[in-house]
Amino acid sequence: MRIGIVQVTTTKDKCENLFLVTESIRRVAKHGATLIVCPEATSQAFDSGRLDTQAEELDGPFSTGLRELAAELGVTIVAGMFRPADTQGEVNRVYNTALITGNGHHEGYDKIHTFDTATYSESDTVKPGSRLHTFTHEGVTIGVATCFDIRFPEQFKQLAREGAQVILVPTSWADGENKLEQWNTLARARALDAGVFIIAPDQARPGGTSEAGTASGPTGIGHSIAVAPDGTVIAQAGYEPEVLVVDIDPEQALKQRKALPLL
């Protein structure tokens, strides 16, 4: 299976972002990728304004644009977007959704674990999802998680129990002290926990390498990563926008779980 990983820095405007990722998606599809994964918040970057004003259902212009692109290229595309959820007080909350579209799919996974910490509360504006999500690509079961989910190993283990051999993790990971080390460690740990491939595209670091290591909001640190079921890093990006194309053998996940039956 050939997978394309798109690392970009998205903006406040979902029309601009659709145009932005389209170029990268075409690029990796030209190199034979049939499953193409973009970051969390592809439709609208975090810290770029209210999310509810551009949130849309799965028949909106952003998701429809990706659906048409997937059909044109004959690929499956996964990308982060926001959907209307509920209203709490004066706040219109959204779902943080990973759109899956192409090859008969047009569906979404709603992020279960919102980024609620001592200094940031994603659930103020984002309603948590409640259901795990898998889909089939080229006969292989693919699981989906999003960003902060990666800190919760049981979610990944349960996806593996439900048949996932590959888990996609669209992300917008905050920069700061030790954050890159945490990101790399967590991606490799979840691959080892569940015996799966981890494919995790992140937003590129705003400001690029010159801003590396300084604290930021949840707007990306780059370093999109592909990890094998034995914890080996297959490929990793840097801080700047770029794309990766990786070839994997999903059967390796089954062999790893047979050799080390942790589930």
Q: What is the pLDDT of residues 93-104, one digit of tens each?
A: 999 999 999 999
**Catalytic, out of 38, 40, 56, 127:** 40
- At 126, which amino acid appears? V
- Cα–Cα nearest to 193, from 223, 237, 149: 149
Contact criterion met (CB below 8 Å) for 228 and 252: yes
Nearest to 168 by CA among 32, 24, 33, 14: 33
Q: What is the pLDDT of residue 5?
A: 99
Q: What does the domain layout of the chain look like in residue ranges?
A: 2-259
pLDDT value for 118? 83
Which pLDDT score is estimated for 61?
Answer: 98
List the catalytic residue out of 14, 56, 111, 122.
111
Q: Is 127 a catalytic residue?
A: no
Domain 2-259 falls under CATH 3.40.50.2300: no
Question: Of residues 14, 38, 56, 147, which has the active-site annotation?
Answer: 147
72: left (phi over 0), alpha (psi -120 to 50) or beta: alpha
Q: Which two tokens stand for residue 83?
A: 């959907």
Catalytic: 111? yes
* Positions of the chain with pLDDT under 70: none
Stated pTM of the model: 0.98
Predicted local distance difference test score (pLDDT) of residue 92: 97
Tens of pLDDT, residue by residue over 133-191, are: 999 999 999 999 999 999 999 999 999 999 999 999 999 999 999 999 999 999 999 99
